Structure 1
């Protein structure tokens, strides 16, 4: 059982209930020191199992720790051959990015469309998919079923065959970087905008020009997508945000969380780049909806903004899974097609 599985969460819940029953049944057993020891032991057991069950249910939602090795702080991901087999489904492979610019060495997952092998001379457009916090690239692959949605959209012709990269935002799952280069911390922005593209172009048959590169993200990853696109219009042509924000909400360490890394500030004070943004949220997700409305109101040519709001809808995986298909399709209309 993986720590993000339903079986693990249910097992922990059953254990917590049994511990509570045991605590109740033994509370008045024994006398003197023996009773005190028994009460303490059963109370600790009850508290521990309750915390474990709560943690596993939360992890099932955000997928911060998809394996027990990840929970222990070890990375067990290995390299894979980036040459898919034939068939109607894309293939997921893993690459290790040795970040010469950022100093970060991390594994990334890459979705290769089904035609990747069938078109051996083609170079495909690329989308970097950024996860939320807390979370991990596994959130895209497990809870959001990204590969299934990509297969469906490409097979239906709503999306061109595209390589999609799923990089982590930080070497520490408990550190929120918001995809920025933190002062005295990880240089995540450099990793995502320099090292990941360089590694992908080395190992995969993808387009190198900005017309072939886009970004997508949900929650914190939605902020990452819009912010990185605005900051690097020479690298990305378009970005899609699912319930993202206009500001990082963390302290970066150099004050830019209020200026250069605040998307609303950028649109007010700096020339707007010739890129396209897709801003999606549920109307009940008040912060995300408000920030999307703000960015859309501030935008003007040459920046293009498309909004897509749904009635109701909170800040949840269910909302993002419903929104990802249309967001991938929209991105594909702005990105260049495979080059043959």
Structure 2
């Protein structure tokens, strides 16, 4: 058993979407590097905007988790939802940015199933994200509950393009407010019930803008039947401390769900 895991990059062919994403980052825990590796949970992570699909942000945190679990930890795939221009694509299919939702939901998911030694049950599948990626994560969890059994939303925006709603309403939705509202996670969750989805929402305690948003989205998730954990990272702001604290909290909460400590 190696002492630590390994990171690398992979190219995911956008067969279904055609979206020109940057290569994705990968983290393989120690157990995945053995001669006869076990199937492990799958953890899809999306970073912020601007940002890059760099697996080194998770490496130390997941290595620490693996040390406490005999080398076992999720396999992490850090996918690029913003592309080389690092635009806020809203994680949606649009004429302006391309088929971004299809890239994540179809191309990335298909690649993971075909190329990673991961468990297939949804309770082992986690979609996670930070800031812009956090919004993407809760949107995918709300839209595709048959795929994602868990979601970790770290300092996420309340809905797609929340920083510039007026310009996004115009440029992405051609002024159609109803179409825009239909893509907001709170509205999506209000129409469904999620009895076996575990959701972790974290935010820096002093991140005034995102605390309010995290509280609203986490409450909506709870009302929709998700098993919710809400956590504030003490003085985490909206930077690396908030990201690290959110990743750590997610692992702590989902540990029992995955059963890797047994």
| TM-score normalised by L of structure 2 | 0.84
Change in 2 beyond 3 A, CA 1:119/1:105: farther
1:288 corresponds to 2:210: yes
> In the alignment, which of 221, 225, 233 is matched to residue 310 of structure 1?
233
Larger gyration radius, structure 1 or structure 2: 1
Unmatched runs of 5 consecutive residues or more in structure 2: none
For 1:10, the equivalent position in structure 2 comes to: none
Cα distance in 1 for residues equivalent to 2:95 and 2:28: 35
What secondary structure sits across from 2:113 in the alignment? helix
Moved more, 124-133 or 166-175: 166-175
What secondary structure sits across from 1:137 in the alignment? coil
CA contact (8 A) 1:178 1:221 kept: no
Unmatched runs of 5 consecutive residues or more in structure 1: 1-85
Change in 2 beyond 3 A, CA 1:280/1:125: same
Please list, as runs of the form range in 1=range in 2, the aligned pairs for 1:1-340 lying within 5 A after superposition. Answer: 87-104=2-19, 106=21, 107-118=23-34, 120=36, 122-138=38-54, 141=56, 145-157=57-69, 160-248=72-160, 249=162, 251=168, 253-254=172-173, 255=176, 258-268=180-190, 270-274=191-195, 275-298=197-220, 299-300=222-223, 302-335=225-258
Cα distance in 1 for residues equivalent to 2:115 and 2:219: 40
Cα distance in 2 for residues equivalent to 1:232 and 1:337: 25
Cα distance in 1 for residues equivalent to 2:154 and 2:244: 9
What secondary structure sits across from 1:165 in the alignment? strand
| TM-score normalised by L of structure 1 | 0.66
Superposed CA offset, 1:21-68 (max 9, x none): xxxxxxxxxxxxxxxxxxxxxxxxxxxxxxxxxxxxxxxxxxxxxxxx
CA contact (8 A) 2:53 2:78 kept: yes
TM-superposed CA distance for 1:261, in Å, is: 2.0
Cα distance in 2 for residues equivalent to 1:173 and 1:128: 21
TM-superposed CA distance for 1:129, in Å, is: 0.9
The structure whose RCO (Cα within 8 Å, separation 6+) is larger is 2
Cα distance in 2 for residues equivalent to 1:282 and 1:246: 15
Query: What is the RMSD of the two structures over their aligned residues, measured on CA atoms?
Result: 2.5
Cα distance in 2 for residues equivalent to 1:295 and 1:334: 22
CA contact (8 A) 2:5 2:28 kept: yes
TM-superposed CA distance for 1:160, in Å, is: 4.5
Cα distance in 1 for residues equivalent to 2:82 and 2:71: 29
TM-superposed CA distance for 1:121, in Å, is: 5.3
TM-superposed CA distance for 1:88, in Å, is: 1.0
Cα distance in 2 for residues equivalent to 1:124 and 1:170: 27
Q: Which has the higher helix share?
A: 1
Cα distance in 2 for residues equivalent to 1:186 and 1:93: 26
TM-superposed CA distance for 1:159, in Å, is: 9.2
CA contact (8 A) 1:280 1:309 kept: yes
CA contact (8 A) 1:159 1:332 kept: no
Cα distance in 1 for residues equivalent to 2:61 and 2:79: 18
TM-superposed CA distance for 1:289, in Å, is: 0.9
